[in-house]
Structure 1
Amino acid sequence: MPSSAPSAVTRSALVILAVIACGVVLYVLRDIFTPLALAIFLAVMIDGLARLLLRRAPFLPRAAAAPAAIVLSIAVFAGAAVLIAENAADFVVQIAAYGPRLNGLMEQAAGLLGVQAPQSLEQLIRQLNPAQYLSQVGGALQGFASSAVFVLIYLGFILASRRGFERKIVGLFPDRHERREAVAAFHRIRDGVEQYLWVQTVTGVMIAVASWIAMALVGLDNALFWALLIFIASYIPIIGGIVGVAAPPIFALLQFDSLWPAAILAAVLQGVQFVVGNIIQPRMQGESLNMDPVVILLSLALWGAIWGLPGMFLSTPIAVMAMVILAQFDGTRWIAILLSDDGEPVRAKDADFPTAAPPPEAAPQDFESGASL
Structure 2
Amino acid sequence: MPMKPPISLPTSTVGRNAVVAIAVVAVGAAMYWLADILTPLAMAIFLLIMIDGVKRFIEDRTPVPSHLAGAAALIVVILGFFAAIAIIANGALNFFDEASGVTTRIGPRLDQIIHDVSQLFGVETAPTASELIGQLDIRSYLAVFARQAQGVVTGSIFVLIYLAFLLASQSGFRRKLVGMFPDRTARSEAMEVFQRVRGGVEGYLWVQTVTGAMICAAAWALMRVVGLQNAEFWTFVIFIVCFIPVIGGAVAGLVPPLFALVQFETYWQAAVLLGGLQAILFVSGNVIQPRMQGDNQNIDPVVVLLALAFWGKVWGVVGMFLSTPLAVMAMAILAEFKGSRWMAILLSGDGEPYADEDGARPAPRRRVNPPQAEAD
- Asked if these proteins are the same fold (TM beyond 0.5), I'd say yes
What letter is aligned with 1:144?
A: V
SS in 2 for 1:122: helix
Query: Which residue number corresponds to residue 340 of structure 1?
Result: 348
Correspondence 1:268-283 to 2 at 5 A:
268-283=276-291
Asked whether the equivalents of residues 295 and 354 of structure 2 are also in contact (C-alpha less than 8 Å), the reply is no
Task: Give 1:252's aligned residue.
Answer: 260
- In 1: Cα distance, 2:135 partner to 2:303 partner: 42
When normalised by structure 2's length, the TM-score is 0.88
* Matched residue SS, 1:115: coil
Which of 150, 170, 195 is the equivalent residue of 2:158? 150
Answer yes or no: is 1:216 the counterpart of 2:220.
no
1:216–1:223 CA contact under 8 A, matched in 2: yes
Structure 2 letter corresponding to 1:27: Y
Residue pairs, 1:25-64, within 5 angstroms: 25-57=30-62, 59-64=63-68
CA 1:134 to 1:245, structure 2 compared with 1: closer, same or farther past 3 Å? closer
Give me the identity figure in percent.
Answer: 51
Return the letter of the residue paired with 1:63: H
Tell me which amino acid in the other structure corresponds to 1:85.
Answer: A
The alignment of Structure 1 onto Structure 2 pairs a total of residues equal to: 357
Number of the residue aligned with 1:68? 72
**1:91 matched residue in structure 2:** 95
Give the Å deviation of 1:119: 4.0
Uncovered stretches (5+) of structure 1, i.e. residues with no partner: 359-371
Closer, same or farther: CA 107–93 of 1 in aligned 2, 3 Å: farther
Structure 1 residue 80 corresponds to structure 2 residue 84: yes
CA distance in 2, matches of 1:24, 1:247: 34
In structure 2, stretches of 5+ residues that fail to align are 1-7, 369-374
The DSSP-based 3-state class of the residue aligned with 2:351 is coil
Equivalent residues of 1:218, 1:261 under 8 A apart: yes
- Aligned residue for 1:362? none
Q: Distance in 1 between matches of 2:233 and 2:10?
A: 61
User: Judging changes above 3 Å, is the alpha-carbon distance between structure 1 residues 116 and 38 closer, same or farther for their aligned structure 2 residues?
Assistant: farther
- Residues 186 and 119 from structure 1, CA distance in 2 versus in 1: closer, same or farther, beyond 3 angstroms? same
Flag the 1:357–1:131 CA change in 2: closer, same or farther, 3 A. closer
Per the TM alignment, residue 292 of structure 1 is displaced from its structure 2 partner at its CA by 1.3
Could you list the per-position Cα deviations for residues 288-314 of structure 1 after superposition, in whole angstroms to 9, with x for gaps in the alignment? 221111111111111111111100110
**Equivalent position SS for 1:290:** coil
Q: Does 1:10 align with 2:18?
A: no
**In structure 2, C-alpha distance between the alignment counterparts of 1:37 and 1:132, rounded to whole Å:** 30
> How has the CA–CA distance of structure 1 residues 350 and 332 changed in structure 2, closer, same or farther, with 3 Å as cutoff?
farther
Q: Give, in angstroms, the shift of residue 44 of structure 1.
A: 0.3
SS of equivalent to 2:243: coil
Could you list the per-position Cα deviations for residues 248-279 of structure 1 after superposition, in whole angstroms to 9, with x for gaps in the alignment?
Answer: 11111112222211111111111111111111
**Alignment CA distance shift 1:90-1:279 (3 Å):** same
Distance 1:118 1:309 in 2: 36
